[in-house]
């Protein structure tokens, strides 16, 4: 499927799981395509704002009309229109919040650096440079430095943070690949690893793998609040 067809399906919310994975990978690896997607997203926001302003202007004009009898009818009609629009908005908002993208956006945030906190006079090697970039929010640079460090020393904890970096910069396939590799070791972050894998698989609409990892997180975790959040996500997925 070509880029334009993928973009058209994205704009009309018709992408299936395979197409979504292809779309996300293309967006992460093709700067021109990513810019075009951003342009259309921004355009949609502008159109929504213009429609909102048009409705606001229409309501204001109606209020200024002087015919009392007509005004009552018009106000009732406008009230009905407003109720319908609000209902549609609420429906679409709730639907978007329950979509894979909506769930991912609500729950994803980078995992804090608890493995190699950066302090003064730290060694200036690739791993430390990676964690320095990570703590500064420069996840692309952090991923580059972690890749460099892993060529010299295969540290599965660094591999975990590399996966988080790729997830943060929206390269979901590489995020999954690195976390799946990190899963082979007995990590102190194993429960968090399953949590992030659940989110990444969910974003790709690979629901069976997402469910499997969320369930493994629940089995391993002792964080009752996060366990409850995960159960809510599972409930939404299987509905």
Q: What span, in angstroms and rounded, lies between the C-alpha atoms of 236 and 104?
A: 12
pLDDT by residue (tens digit) across 28-74? Answer: 888 887 888 788 777 777 777 777 787 777 767 666 555 555 666 66
Torsion angle in degrees (nearest 10) through CA of 200, 206, 207, 210: -30
Angle between helices 17-29 and 3-11 (to 10 degrees): 120
| pLDDT tier for residue 96 given thresholds of 50, 70 and 90 | very low
Least confident of 41-45, 96-100, 184-188, 202-206: 96-100
The ranges assigned to domains in the chain are 3-105, 111-238
Average pLDDT over residues 86-102: 54
Q: Residues of the chain with pLDDT > 70: what percent?
A: 82
**Average pLDDT of the chain, as a whole number:** 83
* Model confidence, pTM: 0.59
Are the C-beta atoms of residues 139 and 110 closer than 8 Å to each other? Answer: yes
How is residue 99 annotated by DSSP? S
The Cα–Cα gap between 170 and 204 comes to: 11
Which has more pLDDT, 61 or 222? 222
* Superfamily name with CATH number, domain 111-238: Tetratricopeptide repeat domain (1.25.40.10)
């Amino acid at each position: 499927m070509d880029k334009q067809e993928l973009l058209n399906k994205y704009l009309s919310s018709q992408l299936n799981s395979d197409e979504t994975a292809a779309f996300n990978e293309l967006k992460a690896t093709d700067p021109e395509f990513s810019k075009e997607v951003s342009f259309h997203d921004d355009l949609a926001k502008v159109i929504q704002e213009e429609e909102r302003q048009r409705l606001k202007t229409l309501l204001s004009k109606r209020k200024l009309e002087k015919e009392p009898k007509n005004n009552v009818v018009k106000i009732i009609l406008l009230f009905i229109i407003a109720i319908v629009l609000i209902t549609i908005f609420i429906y679409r908002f709730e639907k978007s919040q329950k979509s894979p993208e909506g769930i991912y956006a609500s729950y994803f945030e980078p995992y804090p650096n608890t493995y190699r906190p950066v302090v003064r006079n730290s060694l200036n090697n690739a791993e430390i440079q990676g964690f320095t970039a990570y703590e500064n929010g420069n996840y692309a640079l952090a991923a580059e430095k972690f890749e460099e460090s892993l060529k010299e020393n295969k540290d599965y904890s660094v591999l975990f943070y590399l996966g988080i970096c790729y997830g943060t910069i929206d390269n979901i396939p590489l995020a999954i690949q690195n976390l799946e590799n990190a899963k082979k070791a007995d990590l102190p972050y194993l429960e968090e690893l399953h949590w992030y894998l659940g989110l990444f698989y969910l974003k790709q609409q690979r629901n069976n793998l997402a469910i499997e990892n969320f369930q493994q997180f629940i089995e391993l975790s002792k964080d009752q609040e996060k366990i409850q959040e995960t159960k809510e996500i599972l409930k939404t997925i299987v509905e």
